[in-house]
């Protein structure tokens, strides 16, 4: 359904000195800087697959999705979606895809939601009966009934997002791109949205590419993940095998009743890694593999050496795994730079 071959994307940014002087100077003399957001991506997605597209802030996820949906043209390489080159045939491509950009709205701000849908019905030329049938299902699963008469600008974030989702799927496109569809939503709305996506995939075989920072989304929806870092793919494969590979990693964070500098107890030094402290966080985080040392032994050694006030154990949640992969890819990168 989706073929991405060696795509790259550079943005041209106007370089500007700070202040008024800089602004004035750039009126006459423009210096450009190139930012390479995507550095060469290859992947293929089969019909009906649900793929998680993940990576740190600025990794190039939204840039990829914009190219897939035809908003941006790649600087190099080629994309086809359902046999169409999106950026060359935007109108035809639009019939094939639905998209939700969590940070933006595609609904019409000032008119009631129902009328936005009505407009989309005409834009996509959806037959009346099909439209009624689809709407019926959406109203039920996404609980839209009370929202239909309200203008979009009066909706809360979670209400708006449910409406957005319905709009993206309304013409039953074979492909849907979801760029952070659950951002800022409460747990109940997130659950509802995940159910809806799964339901659409089951009943209509919709191919879904999902970008999110919420790993629960990924665990519940996707069987395959593509991880991108700094414009390059660092992992493409099924979720389970990455869990198997990194799944023995554990993190325990300790809240210590202790003011001095912390040093690892000698019995742990070569088995456990001390993670950098997060800002404004006084907790000590230790990472280790369950194959090398048992959690109980780590806790015992720490309690022996320090007054432990509290502790939390994080098991091999996908967040931790992804954090590990980012870290190792960054280490490789800095290693390459040194070389
Ligand atoms: N319109 C633009 N002009 C110039 N640079 C851009 C533009 N859009 C994105 N970038 C840069 O390209 C890189 C990738 O951005 P992108 O939005 O694709 O990241 P992302 O993976 O979606 O991140 P996030 O998780 O924060 O949404 C970033 O370094 C960003 O600063
Ligand atoms: Mg983004």
Show the tokens assigned to 127: 């037959």
**246: helix, coil or strand?**
helix
For range 162-180, the mean pLDDT: 95
Show the tokens assigned to 336: 């390459």
For range 97-117, the mean pLDDT: 89
Task: Tell me the pLDDT of the chain averaged across its residues.
Answer: 89
The per-residue pLDDT for range 49-72, each reduced to its tens digit, is: 999 999 888 899 999 999 999 999
CA–centroid distance, residue 56 to ligand 1 (Å): 11
Name residues with Cβ closer than 5 Å to ligand 2, which is an ion: 61-62
pLDDT score of 337 more than 60 = no
For range 112-125, the mean pLDDT: 94
pLDDT score of 336 more than 60 = no
pTM of this structure:
0.80
Are 153 and 115 contacting, i.e. CB atoms less than 8 angstroms apart? no
Is 52 close to ligand 1, i.e. is its CB under 6 Å away?
A: no
Residue range 248-315, CATH number: 3.30.70
184 vs 117, 211, 213, CA distance in Å? 24, 14, 11
Beta bridge partners of 255: 310
For range 135-144, the mean pLDDT: 94
Is 11 close to ligand 1, i.e. is its CB under 6 Å away?
A: yes
The per-residue pLDDT for range 94-104, each reduced to its tens digit, is: 999 999 988 78
For range 133-146, the mean pLDDT: 94
CA–centroid distance, residue 63 to ligand 2 (Å): 7
pLDDT score of 338 more than 70 = no
Q: Residue 303's pLDDT is what?
A: 93
Q: How far apart are CA 106 and CA 109, in angstroms?
A: 9
> Looking at ligand 1, which atom is closest to the CA of residue 231?
14
Q: For residue 10, name the pLDDT band (cuts at 50, 70, 90).
A: very high
The percent of residues in the chain predicted with pLDDT above 70, rounded, is 95
For range 138-147, the mean pLDDT: 94
Show the tokens assigned to 16: 């500007």
Are 268 and 286 contacting, i.e. CB atoms less than 8 angstroms apart? yes
Closest CA to 43 of 4, 86, 85: 4
The per-residue pLDDT for range 271-306, each reduced to its tens digit, is: 999 988 776 677 899 988 888 999 999 999 999 999
Q: Residue 29's pLDDT is what?
A: 78
Nearest CA to ligand 1 atom 12: 37
* Pocket-testing residue among 8, 63, 181, ligand 1, by greatest number of atoms within 8 A of Cβ: 63
Nearest CA to ligand 1 atom 17: 62
Are 84 and 246 contacting, i.e. CB atoms less than 8 angstroms apart? no
CA–centroid distance, residue 127 to ligand 2 (Å): 34
Cα distance between the two ends of the chain: 40
The per-residue pLDDT for range 182-225, each reduced to its tens digit, is: 988 889 999 999 999 999 999 999 999 999 988 889 989 999 99
Closest CA to 59 of 300, 245, 326, 337: 326
Domain ranges of the chain: 45-242, 248-315
CA–centroid distance, residue 228 to ligand 2 (Å): 12
The per-residue pLDDT for range 233-276, each reduced to its tens digit, is: 989 999 888 877 777 778 899 998 877 788 899 999 999 999 88
For range 18-23, the mean pLDDT: 79
Between these two residues, 325 and 227, which has the higher pLDDT value?
227
Domain 45-242: give its CATH architecture: 3-Layer(aba) Sandwich (3.40)
Nearest CA to ligand 1 atom 4: 11
Show the tokens assigned to 97: 């895809």
The percent of residues in the chain predicted with pLDDT above 90, rounded, is 63
Is 58 close to ligand 1, i.e. is its CB under 6 Å away?
A: yes
239 vs 52, 82, 171, 226, 317, CA distance in Å? 9, 25, 30, 9, 11
Q: Residue 251's pLDDT is what?
A: 86
What is the greatest pairwise CA distance in the chain?
73
CA–centroid distance, residue 60 to ligand 1 (Å): 6
Q: How is the beta sheet containing 308-314 ordered, strand by strand?
A: 273-274, 284-289, 249-256, 308-314
pLDDT score of 164 more than 80 = yes
Q: Which ligand is nearest to the CA of 53?
A: 1
Nearest CA to ligand 1 atom 18: 60
Q: Residue 241's pLDDT is what?
A: 83
């Amino acid at each position: 359904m989706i073929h991405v071959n060696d795509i790259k994307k550079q943005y041209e940014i106007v370089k500007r000195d700070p202040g008024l002087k800089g602004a004035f100077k750039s009126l006459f003399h423009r210096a450009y800087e190139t930012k390479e957001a995507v550095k060469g991506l290859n992947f293929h997605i089969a019909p009906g697959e649900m793929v998680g597209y993940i990576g740190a802030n600025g990794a190039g996820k939204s840039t990829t999705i914009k190219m897939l949906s035809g908003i941006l043209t790649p600087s190099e390489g080629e994309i086809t979606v359902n046999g169409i080159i999106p950026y060359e045939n935007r109108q035809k491509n639009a019939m094939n895809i639905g998209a939700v950009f969590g940070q933006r709205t595609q609904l019409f701000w000032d008119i009631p939601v129902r009328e936005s849908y009505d407009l989309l019905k005409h834009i996509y030329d959806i037959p009346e009966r099909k439209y009624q049938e689809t709407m019926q299902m959406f109203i039920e699963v996404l609980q839209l009934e009370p929202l239909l008469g309200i203008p979009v600008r009066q909706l809360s974030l979670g209400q708006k997002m449910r409406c957005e989702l319905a709009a993206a799927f309304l013409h039953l496109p074979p492909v849907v791109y979801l760029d952070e569809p659950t951002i800022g939503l409460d747990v109940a709305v997130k659950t509802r949205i995940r159910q809806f996506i799964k339901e659409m995939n089951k009943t209509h075989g919709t191919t879904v590419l999902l970008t999110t920072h919420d790993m629960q989304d990924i665990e519940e929806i996707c069987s395959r993940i593509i991880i991108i870092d700094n414009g390059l793919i660092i992992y493409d494969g099924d979720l389970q095998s990455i869990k198997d590979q990194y799944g023995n990693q554990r993190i325990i964070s300790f809240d210590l009743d202790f003011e001095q500098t912390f040093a690892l107890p000698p019995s742990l030094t070569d088995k456990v890694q001390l993670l950098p402290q997060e800002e404004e966080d006084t907790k000590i985080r230790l990472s280790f593999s369950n194959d090398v040392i048992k959690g109980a032994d780590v806790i015992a050694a720490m309690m022996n050496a320090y007054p432990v006030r509290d502790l939390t154990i994080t098991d091999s949640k996908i967040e931790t795994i992804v954090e590990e992969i980012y870290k190792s890819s960054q280490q490789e990168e800095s290693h390459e730079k040194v070389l």
